[in-house]
Structure 1
Amino acid sequence: MRRLLLSTALLLLSACGPSLRLTPGELPPVQPPPADLKQEAEQYVAQHIDEESYREIRSGAEYRRVRQMVDKLSVAAGYPSNTFPVHLLDAGEEVNAAAFNGASIVVYRELLVRVSSDDELATVLGHEVGHIVAAHFKDHEEEKSRAAAVSVGSSLLGVVASVATAAAGYGGAADLAGGVTETATGTIGYGAFVGSFSRTQEYEADHLGLLIMAKAGYDPRAAVQFWERSAEVFGAESSSVGAFFSTHPASRDRQQAIAEAMPHAIRFYEATRGVASKTK
């Protein structure tokens, strides 16, 4: 299992699993993950860190940056502070971030190098928290049978890809258009697969992620610039990125719909900034 991306183990896909009924522009009520789920997630993450010989960063400025951001996003989503364990991994030039089982957050250090601001980093991490809020990991037993790889193409670029139609609502044809795509990645040891959440679940996570980051005080407009430079950030030559582009709408469509989805997030952002200015 040499050089297999940790994301192979981190995301248990729930492409056919249940989702909450969500209202565009609103955050649903949440519940912290149960203790047994969190314990299992931590054990599984630790196992794969050991197998891949990644170095875990447990202190210092970079760790504090990620830890504090995850806490801000979690609180904005409605969770208590320190709900989710955070693992910052030195995995060389590999770039990724993932929420495992709705209970743990894993970030590769290289992501911190590639993003241009805290707002862009919050775009990625807000998307992961959005999956948790939307209960995409709820059907745990089904997810265990669907364990699969989600590399940068579906996990990170998914942050902005399906925001394109988030404002249009959820359900209907989007479910049929979603599903799971699997493509061999030539850069991984014996060939893992690139998977994805259903289109509807990605729309939900992107929409919620924008609201969450905005409510936490991060500028949701960063998602636009993040998308514009995403190929540069994550490497357009990657086969996993190619698979991503083959299963999502054209960039022009995405950018147009990002603009349509943005007012909801801007409303949260301006409200948060207004409260912050009054407390100074």
Structure 2
Amino acid sequence: MNRLRSLFLVAFALPVVSVAQIRLDPGLMQAGLEAISASTLTNTQVVDYSKQAIREMDAKNPIAPASDPYAQRLARIVARHKTVSGLPINYKVYKVPDVNAFATADGSVRVFKGLMDIMTDNELLAIMGHEIGHVINKDSRDAMKSALRRSAVRNAVASQSGSLGQLSRSQLGGLADQMLGASFSRKQETEADDYGYSFLKQNGYSVMALATSFEKLAKLSGGGGGKVTAILSSHPDSQARAKRVRDRAKRDGLAR
């Protein structure tokens, strides 16, 4: 269970310049893990963990005050979307140069200054729609359940003697676990993309902003990696995501 003590960043951040990391208080996390399992974990419990995680992140990062131009810009962009599907959304800007954004299960959305510097207002809205999609889809709960299941299997196998136990304890065991997690997360990312597209469409925004935001991310990351990188990535290739949005927009008659 050791890796789960450092699991709960909201692993739904953008895969470009950096991925913010959160470490929960080990005592609280251990107590929680002793009380829950993959089958009993509730969204309420995940929300509670999320609240602690976001408090720690907010304490460790410079937050733009309400008077700051970045905070004012974000407030203007999301003014119509303070509540989504009955869930209050709490937006803040981190005044750091990283190109990133993430969401937590309690409805907190954090946008990094570096991301705001390269995106238009509509592109930021598209990314907000994507992040809100993670919250509405309860991806934090599902990711935590998946991690608990994988950890339980690995711990059981690693406790055995012989070659199978040795393999699980080896780097190959860690690699297989990473690939399982990446596959699960890619599915979540695609579903959040779909939510973001619908969010833009239903609110009268251009869906093409989602495509152009992905194209900017692809350019920053060098256009994506090779086959092995794609397999291990927790996010789908940004250029492929942009193409998927453009193809859907054409089918919907929203683009040529």
Superposition TM-score, scaled by structure 2 size = 0.57
Is 1:221 matched with 2:208? yes
Amino acid of the structure 1 residue aligned with 2:103: A
Instruction: Please state how far the C-alpha of 1:85 moved relative to its aligned partner.
Output: 1.8
Listed as ranges, the matches of 1:158-197 within 5 Å are 179-181=180-182, 197=184
Listed as ranges, the matches of 1:96-115 within 5 Å are 96-115=100-119
2:194 counterpart residue number:
207
Amino acid of the structure 1 residue aligned with 2:222: A
Amino acid of the structure 1 residue aligned with 2:74: V
Alignment counterpart, residue 198 of structure 1, candidates 185, 195, 209: 185
Distance 1:215 1:73, change over 3 A: farther
C-alpha distance in structure 2 between counterparts of 1:141 and 1:229, whole Å: 30
Instruction: Please state how far the C-alpha of 1:225 moved relative to its aligned partner.
Output: 2.2
Structure 1 unaligned spans of 5+: 11-16, 19-32, 147-177, 182-195, 268-280
Listed as ranges, the matches of 1:17-56 within 5 Å are 40-50=49-59, 52=60, 54-56=61-63
Amino acid of the structure 2 residue aligned with 1:113: D
Deviations 1:72-130 (A, max 9, x none): 3464x4335xx022221112x21210011253111111111011x11111121111111
Deviations 1:194-236 (A, max 9, x none): xx7533222211011111123233211112222333234x443
2:91 counterpart residue number:
86
Distance 1:237 1:66, change over 3 A: same
C-alpha distance in structure 2 between counterparts of 1:58 and 1:245, whole Å: 40
Alignment counterpart, residue 66 of structure 2, candidates 59, 62, 67: 59
Question: Which of the two has higher C-alpha Rg?
Answer: 2
C-alpha distance in structure 2 between counterparts of 1:103 and 1:143, whole Å: 21
C-alpha distance in structure 1 between counterparts of 2:238 and 2:89, whole Å: 34
Superposition TM-score, scaled by structure 1 size = 0.53
Amino acid of the structure 1 residue aligned with 2:105: N
Number of aligned residue pairs: give it: 189
Q: Equivalent residue of 2:94, what SS? A: strand
Q: Equivalent residue of 2:21, what SS? A: helix
Listed as ranges, the matches of 1:117-128 within 5 Å are 117-128=120-131
Instruction: Please state how far the C-alpha of 1:55 moved relative to its aligned partner.
Output: 1.0
C-alpha distance in structure 1 between counterparts of 2:252 and 2:63, whole Å: 33
Q: Report if aligned partners of 2:51, 2:106 keep a CA contact under 8 Å in 1.
A: no
C-alpha distance in structure 1 between counterparts of 2:123 and 2:198, whole Å: 14
Structure 2 unaligned spans of 5+: 1-5, 10-17, 24-37, 150-178
Q: Equivalent residue of 1:198, what SS? A: helix
Is 1:8 matched with 2:21? yes
Which protein has the bigger helix share?
Answer: 2
C-alpha distance in structure 2 between counterparts of 1:9 and 1:67, whole Å: 25
1:157 counterpart residue number:
none
Instruction: State the percentage of identical aligned residues.
Output: 20
Q: Report if aligned partners of 1:210, 1:265 keep a CA contact under 8 Å in 2.
A: no
Instruction: Please state how far the C-alpha of 1:68 moved relative to its aligned partner.
Output: 4.4
Q: Equivalent residue of 2:181, what SS? A: coil
Alignment counterpart, residue 259 of structure 1, candidates 246, 249, 252: 246
Q: Report if aligned partners of 1:55, 1:90 keep a CA contact under 8 Å in 2.
A: yes
Distance 1:206 1:39, change over 3 A: same
Q: Report if aligned partners of 2:94, 2:113 keep a CA contact under 8 Å in 1.
A: yes
Instruction: Please state how far the C-alpha of 1:140 moved relative to its aligned partner.
Output: 7.9
Deviations 1:47-88 (A, max 9, x none): 2343x4x2111213321332344453464x4335xx022221
Coordinate RMSD, CA, aligned: 4.1
C-alpha distance in structure 2 between counterparts of 1:89 and 1:127, whole Å: 18
Is 1:131 matched with 2:151? no
2:167 counterpart residue number:
none
